[in-house]
Structure 1
């Protein structure tokens, strides 16, 4: 007899390939970030010294750190979501693709903010950076809401009240990233640090999501 909580062959067939493909894409994107960190040229080192040349790249280090942890947190929450999903359909695959599309562009705003963080245009650069995170947070919410609407892709016995409560929690994410983007008008560096803080916050275990997965 199959244990009620054990994944069914239908679920494995329906979501395993989506999860594997998503994991592969996220692994590639998070690896690409490091290519933005360049070894200082010999000309620069001859003029300023190697240590000074390395320290002058601090905007790239900060941007890389922020983007790395953002993608890591998206992977964590994507994994949590697919532990709750029991089956898939075409719309789920399209929405998952939309989320991957958003994350795949992260290296570009990362490069922009790294290049212009110590430039007069730093406000625009950080707004573009955190503004794109706001868009990705919307994509994630669309994926969650579609899967959880009336337990569409969850187990039929999943508590709908719990799903609705988690939906309200996730709805705060886009607002927080929008606030971080607007914070660039006050102080661009603080805005970037706020996005790192949000990544740490969303990486923390969520007892309500754990309850959902347990059901």
Structure 2
């Protein structure tokens, strides 16, 4: 079977690259006249820690999403309108990550921390739902998938994305009480999604 998703994957890679590049725009150097010594520079950098935290969290979140997106399209060989629009939804949400990242960098260390963390975790809940939608639309008819993929492999990938959803929702709910814990959950999800991409790779061999 000839693979028909090359243009989708190429376009998606471009959007992921732009989205991850936009994150660096929130990293600012101090005004030249405001720094008189090395100590002033260190104090400025120290006070910018929410910005660096937001950048690191979002960079690796988008990177791991790109890895999983690449792996899932190793399984998808043909496309229809539903698959294309579900993929477009993923790209729309990924491209929007820079905005809640900027909010997190600006307001995490003040009274608005619960609200900005809720917005930040909320975008990842939506992205996870979009990934689940993409795989559902692709896998409900095996003709869209790589030749020879087993029902067990399809179910493993489905469960892999589905299991991440309640964790994201838990992080969203927890953001209203202890925002820092929600960010730690997001950090833990790096590991989950990194490992999950390995599961998808293993499913390809089944």
The offset of 1:169, in angstroms, is 2.4
Number of the residue aligned with 1:178: 169
- Inter-partner Cα distance in structure 1 for 2:166 and 2:196: 20
What is the 5 A alignment of 1:167-206?
167-204=158-195, 206=197
| 77-86 vs 199-208, which moves further | 199-208
Number of the residue aligned with 2:40: 49
Counterpart secondary structure, 1:204: helix
Instruction: Tell me, yes or no, if structure 1 residue 129 matches structure 2 residue 120.
Output: yes
Instruction: Tell me, yes or no, if structure 1 residue 27 matches structure 2 residue 20.
Output: no
| 42-51 vs 143-152, which moves further | 42-51
Alpha-carbon contact 1:95-1:139 (below 8 Å) kept? yes
- Inter-partner Cα distance in structure 1 for 2:71 and 2:170: 25
Alpha-carbon contact 2:50-2:105 (below 8 Å) kept? yes
- Inter-partner Cα distance in structure 1 for 2:93 and 2:152: 29
- Inter-partner Cα distance in structure 2 for 1:84 and 1:38: 40
Number of the residue aligned with 2:84: 93
- Inter-partner Cα distance in structure 1 for 2:36 and 2:182: 34
Instruction: Tell me, yes or no, if structure 1 residue 154 matches structure 2 residue 171.
Output: no
What is the 5 A alignment of 1:81-120?
81-120=72-111
- Inter-partner Cα distance in structure 2 for 1:208 and 1:37: 34
Uncovered stretches (5+) of structure 1, i.e. residues with no partner: 1-7
| 45-54 vs 190-199, which moves further | 45-54
- What is the aligned-residue RMSD (CA, Å)? 1.8
Alpha-carbon contact 1:135-1:174 (below 8 Å) kept? no
For residues 40-97 of structure 1, what are the alpha-carbon distances to aligned partners after superposition, in whole Å with 9 as ceiling and x for unaligned?
Answer: 1235435981110111000000000000011001100001101111212222111111
Change in CA separation of 1:110 and 1:206 when aligned onto 2, cut-off 3 Å: closer
Alpha-carbon contact 1:144-1:167 (below 8 Å) kept? yes
Alpha-carbon contact 2:22-2:98 (below 8 Å) kept? yes
Counterpart secondary structure, 2:8: helix
Instruction: Tell me, yes or no, if structure 1 residue 213 matches structure 2 residue 204.
Output: yes
| 90-99 vs 151-160, which moves further | 151-160
Q: TM-score, with normalisation over the residues of structure 2?
A: 0.92
The offset of 1:206, in angstroms, is 4.8
The offset of 1:152, in angstroms, is 4.1
Q: TM-score, with normalisation over the residues of structure 1?
A: 0.88
